[in-house]
Amino acid sequence: MPAKKNPIAELEAHRAKQESLAMKAKQLEADAAQHLGKLVMGSKLHTWELQTLVEVLAKLSEFGPEDSLRRLSRGQCKASAPDRGGDAKPDNAEGPSGPEQTGAKSQV
C-alpha 4 chain-centroid distance: 51
- Per the domain annotation, does 58 fall within a domain? yes
Are residues 38 and 51 both part of a single domain? no
Are residues 39 and 17 both part of a single domain? yes
pTM for the whole thing? 0.54
For the chain, the average pLDDT equals 78
Are residues 62 and 39 both part of a single domain? no
Q: What is the DSSP letter of 93?
A: T
Higher pLDDT, 15 or 75: 15
Mean pLDDT of 26-55: 96
- Per the domain annotation, does 24 fall within a domain? yes
Provide the domain limits for residue 65. 44-76
- Per the domain annotation, does 61 fall within a domain? yes
- Per the domain annotation, does 13 fall within a domain? yes
- Per the domain annotation, does 70 fall within a domain? yes
- Per the domain annotation, does 86 fall within a domain? no
Using CA atoms of 19, 21, 24, 28 in order, give the dihedral in degrees to the nearest 10: -130
Report DSSP letters for 46-88, one per residue: GGS-HHHHHHHHHHHHHHHHHHHHHHHHHHHHHHSPPP--TTP
